């Protein structure tokens, strides 16, 4: 059997990431996969990235998300293509703040992350680790997508299992020939449960089992840290962390 632990979308929430890391100690996974969006929005991007780099040194597979492109290089069109009339000041302010908080060495680490990685289970099952969907950091596998769009997006890889984040809504969706495993968010979740979400994925003899896990962290302390920062939009970011629902 091959066990893979999956998390993503830490978004600068070092407190939540630390809680998840403690929860992982008993898992003994063969792989840890981390699917992007590491620094933007939360109060401690440097602390989050430092932990991620420790995890990478221990063997974790880490890919880049769309907000990592923004934080590293201020390429807003690539990171947020849906803002056709320009990126709001709230996004620019948080991005610039995170870039400065990270410093040159951590920014260089963000820049070198790949957009996706492939893992092979012991039985030969291929698992794609991406942020949004195969071949894209910005086109997610949203639950509300037209089925034809979902099929088109998942068809862009030969992998049996597609591991992703981006939507901040955890789900496991079996399409028969493909399995979508969205771990949600380990720091900035949107489903109304203000905990960190991650996934335990087991692969054995062609069978794949994925379970969404939840880990508590001090959401109020993180929300207060965001509020005290005082950037445009921080009142909404703090409310999102506190409630587990997207507030804007």
* CATH number, domain containing residue 138: 3.60.21.10
What local confidence, expressed as pLDDT, does residue 63 receive?
A: 98
In a domain, 234, yes or no: yes
In a domain, 248, yes or no: no
C-alpha distance from residue 93 to each of 41, 88, 100, 131, 183 (Å): 10, 9, 11, 23, 27
**Sorting pLDDT into bands at 50, 70 and 90, what band is 208?**
very high
Nearest to 191 by CA among 156, 243, 232: 243
User: Following DSSP, what letter does each residue of 220-238 receive, concatenated?
Assistant: HHHHHHHHHH--TTHHHHH
Phi-psi region of 166 (alpha: psi -120 to 50; beta: other; left: phi over 0): left
3-class state of residue 199 by DSSP: strand
List the strands of the sheet with 161-164, edge to edge: 117-120, 126-129, 161-164, 179-182, 171-174
**Sorting pLDDT into bands at 50, 70 and 90, what band is 246?**
very high
What is the spatial distance between Cα 165 and Cα 102, in angstroms, rounded to a whole number?
22
- What is the rounded average pLDDT of the residues 75-79? 96
- Tell me the pLDDT of the chain averaged across its residues: 97
Q: Based on the structure, what is the number of domains in the chain?
A: 1
Length of the chain: 248
In a domain, 17, yes or no: yes
What local confidence, expressed as pLDDT, does residue 209 receive?
A: 96
In a domain, 11, yes or no: yes
- What is the rounded average pLDDT of the residues 211-227? 98
What is the spatial distance between Cα 39 and Cα 9, in angstroms, rounded to a whole number?
8
What local confidence, expressed as pLDDT, does residue 108 receive?
A: 98
Contact between 72 and 106 (Cβ < 8 Å): no
Residue whose tokens read 């590293």: 72
What local confidence, expressed as pLDDT, does residue 97 receive?
A: 98
- What is the rounded average pLDDT of the residues 154-182? 97
What local confidence, expressed as pLDDT, does residue 144 receive?
A: 93
Contact between 52 and 17 (Cβ < 8 Å): yes
Provide CB contacts within 8 A for 173, sequence distance 6+: 141, 143, 179, 180, 182
What is the spatial distance between Cα 225 and Cα 7, in angstroms, rounded to a whole number?
23
Contact between 2 and 194 (Cβ < 8 Å): no
What local confidence, expressed as pLDDT, does residue 20 receive?
A: 98
**Sorting pLDDT into bands at 50, 70 and 90, what band is 90?**
very high
In a domain, 156, yes or no: yes
Contact between 75 and 67 (Cβ < 8 Å): no
In a domain, 33, yes or no: yes
- Which structural domain, as residue segments, surrounds residue 211? 2-243
In a domain, 199, yes or no: yes
What is the spatial distance between Cα 107 and Cα 94, in angstroms, rounded to a whole number?
15
pLDDT in tens, 7-57: 999 999 999 999 999 999 989 999 999 999 999 999 999 999 999 999 999
- What is the rounded average pLDDT of the residues 237-243? 98
Task: Return the half-sphere exposure (C-beta side, CA atoms, 13 A cut-off) of residue 8.
Answer: 32
pLDDT in tens, 91-143: 999 999 999 999 999 999 999 999 999 999 999 999 999 999 999 999 999 99
In a domain, 91, yes or no: yes
């Amino acid at each position: 059997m091959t066990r893979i632990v999956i998390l993503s979308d830490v978004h600068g929430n070092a407190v939540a990431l630390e809680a998840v890391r403690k929860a992982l100690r008993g898992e003994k996974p063969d792989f840890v996969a981390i699917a992007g969006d590491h620094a933007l929005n939360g109060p401690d991007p440097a602390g989050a990235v430092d932990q991620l780099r420790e995890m990478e040194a221990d063997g974790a597979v880490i890919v880049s998300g769309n907000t990592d492109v923004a934080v590293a290089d201020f390429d807003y069109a690539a990171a947020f293509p849906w803002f056709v009339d320009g990126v709001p000041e709230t996004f620019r302010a948080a991005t610039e703040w995170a870039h400065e908080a990270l410093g040159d060495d951590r920014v260089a680490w963000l820049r070198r992350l790949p957009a996706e990685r492939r893992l092979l289970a012991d039985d030969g099952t291929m698992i794609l680790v991406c942020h949004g969907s195969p071949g894209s950091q910005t086109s997610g596998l949203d639950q509300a997508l037209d089925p034809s769009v979902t099929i088109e997006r998942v068809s862009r890889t030969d992998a049996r299992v597609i591991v992703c984040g981006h939507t901040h809504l955890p789900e496991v969706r079996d399409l028969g020939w493909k399995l979508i495993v969205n771990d949600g968010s380990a720091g900035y979740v949107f489903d109304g449960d203000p905990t960190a979400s991650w996934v335990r994925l087991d692969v054995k003899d062609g069978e794949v089992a994925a379970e969404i896990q939840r880990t508590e962290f001090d959401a109020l302390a993180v929300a207060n840290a965001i509020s005290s920062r005082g950037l445009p939009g921080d009142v909404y970011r703090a409310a999102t962390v506190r409630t587990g629902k997207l507030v804007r």
